[in-house]
């Protein structure tokens, strides 16, 4: 299984299946031929307190218990070779709840700058209307999508971003969050 799909499966797993999905994720990441695509299990938090949300998240009083559980899962992936973001519900303009360190490094934004903002803050002059429309459509129909979109770093530098977006249902089947996996890809010739 591809690493991005394994990450999304882990984030979408219900509480009962999360441990199995995480073991699958680690196994898939370790089995890959490309060393840059592996998850280094030596940097994973070992205790619950080590996985507690950082102050920029912990201070947020608008977080639900589900937010906190999902943030804890994304924090396990802080040093994954792909950017990972967790966004809140669409009815609140899909705010970023947490972005892993890899995503923050890719974009140049701090967690405090990202938290509570819609991911479209990455859009800029080179963002194509078709890719942005594909993302909007996926959110409006509650469906998964993978697109390549020109995004912009905090300093305005454009980069081609392969984004896989997936809705995360709650216990009752209602979509509560969105997970995204991102990676910069080489510019086409």
Region 9-19: mean pLDDT is 88
Which pLDDT band holds residue 16 (cuts at 50, 70, 90)?
Answer: confident
CA distance readout (Å), 113 to 24, 56, 97, 154: 32, 10, 11, 10
pLDDT tens, residue by residue, 79-122: 899 999 999 876 788 899 999 999 999 999 999 999 999 999 99
For residue 63 the two structure tokens come to 């977080």
CA pseudo-torsion sign 53, 57, 58, 64: negative
pLDDT tens, residue by residue, 37-72: 556 555 555 444 444 555 556 555 578 888 889 999
Higher pLDDT, residue 27 or 82: 82
Q: Percentage of the chain with pLDDT > 70? A: 80
Gap between the Cα atoms of 139 and 137, Å rounded: 5
Which pLDDT band holds residue 189 (cuts at 50, 70, 90)?
Answer: low
> Does 6 have pLDDT greater than 50?
yes
Which pLDDT band holds residue 75 (cuts at 50, 70, 90)?
Answer: very high
């Amino acid at each position: 299984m591809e690493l991005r799909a394994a990450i999304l499966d882990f984030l979408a797993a219900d509480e009962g299946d999360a441990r199995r999905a995480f073991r699958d994720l680690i196994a898939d990441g370790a089995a890959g031929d490309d060393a840059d695509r592996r998850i280094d299990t030596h940097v994973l938090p070992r205790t619950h307190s080590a996985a507690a949300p950082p102050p920029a998240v912990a201070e947020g009083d608008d977080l639900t218990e589900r937010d906190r559980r999902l943030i804890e899962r994304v924090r396990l992936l802080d040093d994954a070779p792909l950017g990972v973001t967790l966004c809140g519900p669409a009815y609140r303009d899909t705010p970023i709840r947490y972005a892993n360190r890899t995503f923050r490094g890719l974009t140049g934004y701090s967690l405090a700058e990202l938290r509570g903002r819609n991911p479209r803050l990455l859009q800029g002059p080179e963002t194509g209307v078709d890719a942005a429309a594909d993302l909007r459509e996926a959110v409006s129909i509650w469906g998964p999508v993978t697109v390549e979109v020109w995004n912009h770093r905090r300093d305005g530098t454009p980069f081609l971003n392969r984004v896989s977006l997936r809705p995360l249902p709650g216990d009752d089947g209602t979509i509560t969050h969105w997970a995204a996996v991102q990676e910069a890809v080489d510019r086409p010739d």
